[in-house]
Amino acid sequence: MAWSKQLSKQPQLWFILGTVGIFLLAIALRFWGLSRFNMLVFDEVYFATFANNYLTQRPFFDGHPPLGKYLIAIGIWLGNLTPWGANAVKNSLTGSLLSPFSYRWLNALVGSFIPLIVMGIGYQLTRRRSYALFAGLLSALDGLFLVESRYALVNVYLISFGLLGQWFFLRSLDRRGVKRWWWLILAGIAFGASAAVKWNGLWFLFGAYLLWFTAWIMRLVAKFWGATADLTVTPSGKQFISPLRKLTQLNPIAAITSLAVVPVLTYSLSWIPHLQLNPSPNFWDVQKRILSYHEQVGNGPKVHPYCSDWQSWFFMQRPIVYLYETAQTTSDIVPAKPPLPQAAVKVVYDIHAMGNPLLWWLSTAGILLVMWMLGARFYNWVQQADTIDTPSNRPSDQAIATPPLTRSTPGSITGSMDLWIGVYIVVNYWANVIPWMRVSRCTFLYHYMGASVFSLLAIAWLIDRWLHSRQYWFRVAGATAIFLIILAFIFWLPLYLGLPLSPSDWQLRRWLPTW
């Protein structure tokens, strides 16, 4: 057992092994049986076809910006050069004879990196390896991200670029001078790329703006109440400047250039290949046409059976069926033509675009709890602004019985690491929800994917703190939450991968009538 003792003394090695394990899990789940369904699944009808149109130089109109389809097209081109793409079973549903592997593999690869990007954000927020690992693990155990990664859809690219923008933005806060500017430029490029996949990719950039604005508001409030300290003291005794303070120290010229000009340039440049193929309408007219298209979509079940309003996303009331096929035996070829009568169905293949229910519901509870903690902390600070911030006068910390990550200096509203983490998560969560409240067109559960990352970060933060609590029952609660999330993922895995189920086993997984 000497090797286990050696590992326990090397947390960095544990972190590396955990990271590799999470990535291998993510990549295995995404690539397993990638070509099983030799057909176009859900919006592959549009996105895979449009991507192929770029390769065949066939003009077309698309209701979204082009970057996601460029990437699928690159995947098709490269996939056809590999044995898995060139020699696999093919179909001509996109207008060319292509294998499903060729138009899906790049999505699977990019989607495999999302847990690692989430880990990067988690570590950048807290410098805690355990929190980063929990955040990465939970993101690897989400069903919606898995399903979206296995097919030629574009939401995976939107999320990946948006999260990269957030990660680069956080990294810029730890740099100075030119290095900070370079990280801000990278963030701007990533934010612009996210918007170049779909317009709602802008919500990640909106989150950065809102965080910057919030930091300034908190600084002004702190100044009004006479709080002057922005330093925190970690348990090890080291001082550091709060990221909320660093946000107010950003050079305005660098910030505006990087987070306004660069995203606009990135978005605009992404249209060049599309406009070369489709010179009419021009750049400005095509933006108007896209806007008009979305304004005319409409809403309700008559428009699409899986429309869902933003209020329903918090509890995952209306997932989306991406594929539903029936057979008499597992050896039957699907899709069956014509569809089998209900009495003859023995095997069901169902791909549900749905999250891990336990993770989803716990994440919603997590974001609410973090919001309550922030409110309680702010109220407590107002009441005791002239006292030392200790665990005894933090009702929000007592309520969840967890140790503070830092000890704040007297009179500081912006100096707590816990406060910074909570503000970052809550601000970015609502930045990805609030814009949808005014959208009148039909929306879908996958529009919540950006916000769900931050609710996932919230529950991962709480679990990490519970597991480090001195109170036994909170450690039990943290371990139980992880166990139930893993169990739920395994239980619903057949609906993520489209594995064969008997009609009774399929029905067993429909916990809500709207599923």
Q: What's the confidence (pLDDT) of residue 383?
A: 67
Same-domain status, 117 and 185: no
Query: Are the C-beta atoms of 321 and 506 separated by less than 8 Å?
Result: no
Same-domain status, 108 and 232: no
Q: What's the confidence (pLDDT) of residue 382?
A: 66
Domain boundary, last residue among 254, 272, 290: 272
CA 65/CA 79 separation, integer angstroms: 23
Domain region containing 91 = 11-153
Average pLDDT over every residue of 371-375: 90
- Crossing angle for the helix pair 357-383 and 449-467, nearest 10 degrees? 70
Enter the pTM of the model: 0.90
Residue 5 maps to a domain:
no
Same-domain status, 263 and 359: no
Specify the DSSP element, H or E, that contains 349.
Answer: strand 347-353
Share of the chain above pLDDT 90, in %: 68
Q: What's the confidence (pLDDT) of residue 465?
A: 92
Hey, is 352 helix, strand or coil? strand
Tell me whether residue 321 is exposed, middle or buried, using C-beta atoms within 10 angstroms of its C-beta: 0 to 12, 13 to 18, 19 or more. Answer: middle
Question: pLDDT for 152-162, tens place per residue?
Answer: 999 999 999 99
Same-domain status, 360 and 489: yes
> Is 50 exceeded by the pLDDT of residue 335?
yes
Residue 294 maps to a domain:
no
Residue 19 maps to a domain:
yes
Question: pLDDT for 502-515, tens place per residue?
Answer: 999 999 999 999 99
Residue 277 maps to a domain:
no
How far lies 404's CA from each of 366, 381, 450, 457, in Å? 17, 15, 28, 17
- Read off φ and ψ for residue 256, nearest 5 degrees: -65, -45
Domain boundary, last residue among 137, 153, 169: 153
Q: What's the confidence (pLDDT) of residue 283?
A: 94
Domain boundary, last residue among 272, 292, 320: 272
Least confident among 50-54, 228-232, 416-420: 228-232
Same-domain status, 338 and 455: yes
Binning the chain into helix, strand and coil, the percentages to the nearest 5 are 65, 5, 30
CA 303/CA 300 separation, integer angstroms: 6
CA 169/CA 191 separation, integer angstroms: 10
Q: What's the confidence (pLDDT) of residue 157?
A: 98
Query: Are the C-beta atoms of 51 and 103 separated by less than 8 Å?
Result: yes
Same-domain status, 186 and 236: yes
Q: For 51, which DSSP code?
A: H
Confidence of residue 151 (pLDDT cuts 50, 70, 90): very high
Q: What's the confidence (pLDDT) of residue 375?
A: 87
Q: What's the confidence (pLDDT) of residue 393?
A: 42
Same-domain status, 398 and 441: yes
How far lies 215's CA from each of 53, 126, 261, 373, 416, in Å? 46, 17, 22, 18, 13
Same-domain status, 258 and 323: no
Per-residue buried b or exposed e for 360-396, using 16+ beta carbons within 10 Å of the residue's own CB: bbbbbebbebbbebbebbeebbeeebeeebeeeebeb
Rg of the chain's alpha carbons, rounded to an integer? 24
Peptide bond into 335 cis (omega under 30): yes
Question: pLDDT for 456-495, tens place per residue?
Answer: 999 999 999 999 988 999 999 999 999 999 999 999 999 9
> Is 50 exceeded by the pLDDT of residue 396?
no
Q: Considering the chain, what is the average pLDDT of its residues?
A: 87
Q: Scanning the structure block, which residue is given the tokens 């704040």?
A: 408
Question: pLDDT for 248-299, tens place per residue?
Answer: 888 888 889 999 999 999 999 999 999 999 998 899 999 999 999 998 888 8
Question: pLDDT for 170-212, tens place per residue?
Answer: 999 988 888 999 999 999 999 999 999 999 999 999 999 999 9
Same-domain status, 135 and 94: yes
Q: What's the confidence (pLDDT) of residue 405?
A: 46
Same-domain status, 358 and 265: no
> Is 60 exceeded by the pLDDT of residue 7?
no
Tell me whether residue 269 is exposed, middle or buried, using C-beta atoms within 10 angstroms of its C-beta: 0 to 12, 13 to 18, 19 or more. Answer: exposed
DSSP H stretches of helix in 234-384 = 243-247, 252-256, 262-269, 272-277, 283-295, 310-313, 357-383
Average pLDDT over every residue of 134-143: 97
CA 133/CA 130 separation, integer angstroms: 5
Question: pLDDT for 397-417, tens place per residue?
Answer: 443 444 444 444 444 444 577
Q: What's the confidence (pLDDT) of residue 233?
A: 45
Q: How many domains does the chain have?
A: 3
Residues facing residue 486 across a β-bridge:
none
CA 405/CA 416 separation, integer angstroms: 8
CA 58/CA 145 separation, integer angstroms: 31
Same-domain status, 146 and 95: yes
DSSP codes, 93-158: TTSS-B-HHHHHHHHHHHHHTHHHHHHHHHHHHH--HHHHHHHHHHHHT-HHHHHHHTSS-SHHHH
- Read off φ and ψ for residue 60, nearest 5 degrees: -165, 165
Residue 166 maps to a domain:
no
Give the β-pairing of 239-241 and 231-233: antiparallel
Same-domain status, 140 and 186: no
Residue 332 maps to a domain:
yes
Name the token pair of 484: 């139930």
Residue 165 maps to a domain:
no
Hey, is 241 helix, strand or coil? strand
